[in-house]
Amino acid sequence: MTSRRTFLLSGLAAVAGSSALANAPAVSLRPVSRKVSSLAAGADGLKALLSRAKLPGHAVCAVADVKTGKLLEASGSGEALPPASVAKALTALYALDVLGADHRFETRILATGGVAGGVVGGDLILAGGGDPMLNTDHLALMAKALKNAGVREVRGRFLVWDGALPHVRTIDPEQPDHVGYSPAVSGIALNFNRVHFEWKRAASGWTITMDARTEKYRPEVATSQMTIASRKGPVYTYAEKAGTDQWTVAGKALGKGGARWLPVRNPGAYAGDVFRTLARAHGIALPRAKATRSLPRAQLLAQHHSPPMDVMLKAMLKYSNNLMAEMIGMAASTARSGRPASLKASAAEMNRWAGEKYGMSGTRLVDHSGLGEDSRMTPADLTGALVAAYRSGRLKPLLKPFRLRDAKGRVVKGHPIKVAAKTGTLNFVSGLGGFMTAADGTELAFTIFTADLKTRARIPRAQRERPKGARGWNRRAKQLQQQLIERWGAVYGS
């Protein structure tokens, strides 16, 4: 009986003697290279996706299973890039761990010298307690409470204490003076330390107002003043004179009318100015506010409490408010190790905490908001912290949904992948970190950082609000983020 081996050998011999090999190719054949799918499992698929994006600069990422903590795939996971506002997710964890979800900040009205017959015998003090959500409506309620307490006259001074936190003139000195997202920071803040500038075309020139408006009140302020200058540019200039914010605006840039929020550089003076106006509306005449460096023992006359910490953090993450992040972060540092000397020192304390709590050895933040471009964080660091935070159930409920979009940028309703994450955007810097749930219910933690630091470094300070090319680059970075999420959903969740 012929064996299978004999059969195969004889068959090969027959082929060799036939014309099948008579015209063999002069060069050896090579397998045709196939284009690796961006949805292919393994490192090649991830590499292919990042390569095809052709995003100038660097793109790094990491994704892990939240239940096992296993790192599923990564590219440049140990490379530190600016996290932008994704840093606020770490600040939220810091505040929850150090201060707690129920922590509230308190703003108080105090009196020295006692109160007799409606007269404050000593000084009246507006004492800030680090509340980042204090607004004009809250001060109005405190002024009303002062009246209800029977106060009608103050014999001494009207003082403002903002020393609960260090004074920071601007969150990021590299930002233009006029951007509202980089105001001053101190132990008191009003309306996120922004003043409302409005202009309307008049018969000759413009009418302008500077006020501390809310929906209920519009008290004009004296601590921020605006002058219209006859020039094309720059649009705004700023100078501080005797504790007053002095602004000029280019008249040729105003048009028919408009409004914008400008940053406040003297938060204590601003809050004191507004409270003085509101108190006067209740028949209480106060002298001009003066700053005090120390807080004496005094009688409590009125107070306002902030919302609980978890409510504030949800708002901070939803609206990506820089001032909230800085004040909450510095308050946590104060509770952990005493009042920090500066914003950078407070960020360094948070870095130490992150190393102790989550082993984040590659994270070096210079603030709590991510606005400073010198901050650095690695995908491995944040993804590890996210996995730990998922197990505690503390962070995910505070993150807002990240909507996936179609090729035309429209939100895809009912998309099978659900994402809750914190975005981060600076010029030529874009980040995303959070949690995703795939179609089959698999839950993953992920971090994506992208940055073109060379291009960013060439932007003049005056043009950092809207530099040329930044919008297009950031749009492409967000498209890459979605492609990565869809890849992970296909590879690890189906």
Query: Which pLDDT tens digit goes with each residue over 195-226?
Result: 999 999 988 889 999 999 999 999 999 999 99
Q: Quote the CA–CA distance of 273 and 222 in Å, as a whole number.
A: 7
pLDDT under 50 in the chain at which residues?
Answer: 1-33
Q: 107: closest CA among 371, 366, 301, 337?
A: 301
Can you tell me the distance from the alpha carbon of 262 to that of 468, in angstroms, rounded to the nearest whole number?
A: 23
Cα dihedral 177→170→95→474 (10° resolution): 30
Tens digits of residue pLDDT in 334-368: 999 999 999 999 999 999 999 999 999 999 999 99
**Rounded Cα–Cα distance for residues 229 and 252 (Å):** 9
Long-range interactions of 381-384: CB distance < 8 A, separation 24+: 381/354, 382/62, 382/83, 382/86, 382/89, 382/90, 382/433, 382/447, 383/62, 383/63, 383/64, 383/71, 383/77, 383/433, 383/445, 383/446, 383/447, 384/64, 384/69, 384/358, 384/359, 384/360
pLDDT at site 409:
87
Among residues 91, 97, 80, 86, which one has the least CA distance to residue 421?
86
310 membership: H or E segment, kind and range: helix 309-319
Number of CB atoms found within 10 A of residue 335's CB: 14
CA-CA distances (angstroms) from residue 379 to 49, 70, 73, 86? 17, 14, 11, 11
Cross-sheet strand order for the sheet of 236-241: 224-229, 244-250, 236-241
User: Rounded CA gap, 306 and 308, in Å?
Assistant: 6
Contact 60, 81 (CB under 8 A): yes
Sign, CA torsion 194/170/326/335: negative
Q: What integer pLDDT is reported at residue 24 of this predicted model?
A: 36
Report the 10 Å Cβ neighbour count for 209.
16
With contact defined as beta carbons under 8 Å apart, do 398 and 317 qualify? yes
* Beta strand ranges found along 293-451 (DSSP E): 299-305, 400-401, 418-426, 429-437, 443-451
Q: What pLDDT score was predicted for residue 313?
A: 98
Q: What does the pLDDT read at residue 416? A: 95
Query: 160 and 126 in contact (C-beta within 8 Å)?
Result: yes
Q: How many CB atoms lie within 10 A of CB 446?
A: 27
pLDDT at position 39, please? Answer: 74
Alpha-carbon separation of residue 490 from 42, 278, 290, 487 (angstroms)? 12, 58, 62, 5
Eight-state DSSP code of residue 417? -
State how far the Cα of 80 lies from the Cα of 61, in Å rounded to an integer. Answer: 11
Helices (H) and strands (E) in the chain, counts: 11, 20
Nearest CA among 37, 50, 41 for reference residue 72: 41
